[in-house]
Amino acid sequence: MMIKGLRLQNFRNYQDEFVQFLPGTNILIGDNGQGKTNILEGIYYLLTGKSYRVQREQELLRWEQNEFHLYGDFLMSHHKVSLESHYRDKKKIVKINQVPCRRLSDFVGTINVVFFSPDDLIMIKGGPSERRRFLDLHIAQMRPGHVSLLNAYNKVIQQKSALLKTYVEKNLKYSQLQLWNAQILELGEKIIRNRSDLTKRLQNVSGHIYADLTSQKEKIQISYFALGKKTIDEALFEFPKLLNEKLEQEVERQMVLIGPHRDDVHILLNGKPARLYASQGQQRSLVLSLKLAELDLISQEKGEYPILLLDDVLSELDRFRRDYLINSIELSRIQTLITMTSGENILESGTFLRVEQGHIRRDP
């Protein structure tokens, strides 16, 4: 998979800019604050329907504008694909080859992408929501139906939460809560199975990569921790019972206490929680292992590698990890877009694109 061209209109600091990319490594070079990261964000948003930096589309608009437009031309399995994403009047429209998509799940996963930035360390040292988000974004690219599944589940959680906070006669409230619990059970089981399956595959691939990065001296273990239970089978078996047992407490606390929206991914380094015991260097190795595993898993699923976006990553890695990443990219012939500042001399080859004040030009 590769991107050939991108057009950004009123997106971040870009008024109307078009940029062409070549196979191999494309290096976006320029001082801080010129718009390098905004290009990667535009590509990521165009392919996934989400920004990895903000939650609201309003924050992606150019100053004093009320709409933005993204257009991209891609190659996938030797055929061309044109994608569009339009945001206007707080509504989003996405198109494949100029044909509007009814649902985002019809769009996501058409072209795959892996994004890697220093901020990804929060996957290791942050809260459970960061690790759930990592899993869900990856699953959505390989199984687009996961998007609809999550949206349906989140709506049910919102409805149940609203009911818990509403004054309703006790018997009626409990009867209605049981109806919402039935939907939480149905949707939640599917989400748990999807996340558990991906976690097992990540463990297998990233474990080998991490061992290589540490010369076989260290070992990682990644497992999905559902509903507070030790195994997935145990969690799914006890899910209905847990929903009933927590009902009284949920009414008292006015919040939904059981479901995959509270699950976590446990990452152990040499048998200890990485979040608490991993050094900064070990955390970088863990994230690098997970990102490279992501690339491999998508390649296994789709038969070709996704586009790789690296936002200011190389300067954050030591020489050994940086060389490992670059060698992996070159051996796999992955199209890669990298941002770096003008003063860095980490890469000597590739296509250089100069970014200055929202304008892009090819460096000779």
Digit-coded pLDDT (tens) for 20-41: 999 999 999 998 889 999 999 9
| CATH superfamily to which 120-302 belongs | RecF/RecN/SMC, N-terminal domain (1.20.1050.90)
Supply φ then ψ for residue 357, to 5 degrees: 50, 50
Q: Is residue 5 a known part of a binding site?
A: no
pLDDT at 78 over 80: no
Per the model's pLDDT, the better-predicted residue between 53 and 138 turns out to be 138
Q: What is the pLDDT of residue 58?
A: 87
Q: Is residue 34 a known part of a binding site?
A: yes
Domain spans of the chain, in order of start: 1-111+306-364, 120-302
Q: What is the pLDDT of residue 40?
A: 96
The two three-digit tokens of residue 245, written as one number: 């047992």
pLDDT at 347 over 80: no
pLDDT in tens, 232-256: 999 999 999 999 999 999 999 999 9
Q: Is residue 127 a known part of a binding site?
A: no
196: left (phi over 0), alpha (psi -120 to 50) or beta: alpha
Average pLDDT score over residue span 207-226: 93
Considering the entire predicted model, what is its pTM? 0.90
Q: H helices then E strands: how many in the chain?
A: 10, 15
CB atoms within 10 A of CB 143: 17
- Of 321, 64, 136, whose CA–CA distance to 213 is shortest? 321
Q: Is residue 35 a known part of a binding site?
A: yes
Q: How sure is the predictor about 364, in pLDDT bands with cuts at 50, 70 and 90?
A: low
pLDDT at 344 over 70: no
Q: What is the pLDDT of residue 53?
A: 83
Q: Is residue 31 a known part of a binding site?
A: yes
Q: Is residue 190 a known part of a binding site?
A: no
Average pLDDT score over residue span 291-302: 93
pLDDT at 94 over 70: yes
CATH of domain 1-111+306-364: 3.40.50.300
